[in-house]
């Protein structure tokens, strides 16, 4: 078990309590965020819309000024930083890492400084029905964890292919969240599914042929990029 500087190891995530090869369940994840909401004034857990699981999408807002309205936050000239997790629940590292990040921002002084000029908002799990569809056998090339969620939703949508067409309940709810908060920075967490990357983290843009031509040209001329769609 990993140790933190929290009294009695409070607020440890299931990942930290486990053997290093386990990821939380949906219920454990939301219970953890509800605990942060209850325990810390700088945290508020909101919920939006619905999904194919019949459950809303949660959104944790971390705000030093305890301002949880996007319009108010804009007036304070703060940057909004959105992290989306579990679009593919079989790639769960971001789900667990975001729980630890939120806790550390709330409990560690040096991490809390991240909120001086920014508000961090976290979608704990985007593909909820996929996360509830938990087995050990749908990602044969991946080295763990012991069990994990499924890539598709209950309606078998791959949400990473639905941002534009918005066929699914999930995307429609995500669009509401995105338009409400209009983040300056959006991070969508994935895992490589068995591919051996040289680096711990890879920044991946969209393919140029999927962009408006001016934007595609800008990306090609001014950015050094790797093209792939995980």
Chain residues that interact with Zn ion, rule: CB under 5 A: 88, 91, 190, 230
Q: How far is 109 from 5, CA to CA, in rounded Å? A: 12
Q: How far is the CB of 43 from Zn ion (least distance, A)?
A: 27
List helix spans (H) across the chain.
14-17, 26-39, 70-75, 93-107, 109-112, 128-132, 169-181, 213-222
The SS3 of residue 148 is strand
Q: How far is 188 from 59, CA to CA, in rounded Å? A: 14
Q: Which residues pair with 84 in a beta bridge?
A: 123, 188
Q: How far is the CB of 142 from Zn ion (least distance, A)?
A: 11
Q: How far is the CB of 105 from Zn ion (least distance, A)?
A: 25
Q: How far is 62 from 121, CA to CA, in rounded Å? A: 6
Q: Which is nearer to Zn ion, 70 or 230 (CB)?
A: 230
Q: How far is 137 from 219, CA to CA, in rounded Å? A: 38
Q: What is the DSSP letter of 147?
A: S
Q: How far is the CB of 85 from Zn ion (least distance, A)?
A: 11
How many CA atoms does the CB half-sphere of 195 hold within 13 Å?
A: 14
Q: Which is nearer to Zn ion, 46 or 187 (CB)?
A: 187
Q: Which is nearer to Zn ion, 112 or 206 (CB)?
A: 206
Q: How far is the CB of 210 from Zn ion (least distance, A)?
A: 17
Q: Which is nearer to Zn ion, 94 or 183 (CB)?
A: 94
Q: Which is nearer to Zn ion, 193 or 219 (CB)?
A: 193
């Amino acid at each position: 078990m990993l140790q933190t500087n929290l009294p009695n190891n409070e607020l440890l995530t299931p990942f930290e309590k486990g053997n290093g090869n386990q990821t939380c369940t949906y219920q454990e994840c939301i219970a953890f965020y509800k605990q942060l909401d209850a325990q810390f004034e700088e945290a508020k857990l909101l919920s939006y819309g619905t999904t194919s699981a019949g459950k809303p999408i949660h959104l944790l807002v971390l705000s030093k000024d305890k301002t949880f309205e996007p319009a108010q936050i804009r007036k304070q000239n703060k940057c909004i930083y959105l992290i989306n997790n579990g679009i593919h629940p079989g790639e769960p590292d971001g789900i667990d890492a975001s729980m630890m990040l939120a806790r550390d921002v709330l409990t560690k002084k040096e991490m809390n400084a991240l909120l001086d000029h920014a508000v961090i908002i976290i979608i704990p799990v985007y593909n909820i029905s996929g996360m509830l569809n938990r087995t050990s056998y749908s990602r044969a090339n991946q080295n763990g964890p012991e069990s994990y969620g499924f890539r598709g939703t209950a309606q078998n949508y791959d949400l990473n292919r639905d941002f534009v067409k918005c066929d699914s309940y999930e995307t429609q709810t995500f669009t509401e969240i995105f338009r409400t908060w209009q983040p300056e920075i959006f991070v969508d967490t994935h895992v490589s599914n068995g591919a051996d990357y040289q680096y711990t983290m890879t920044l991946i843009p969209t393919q140029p042929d999927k962009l408006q031509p001016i934007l595609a040209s800008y990306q090609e001329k001014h950015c050094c990029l790797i093209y792939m769609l995980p």
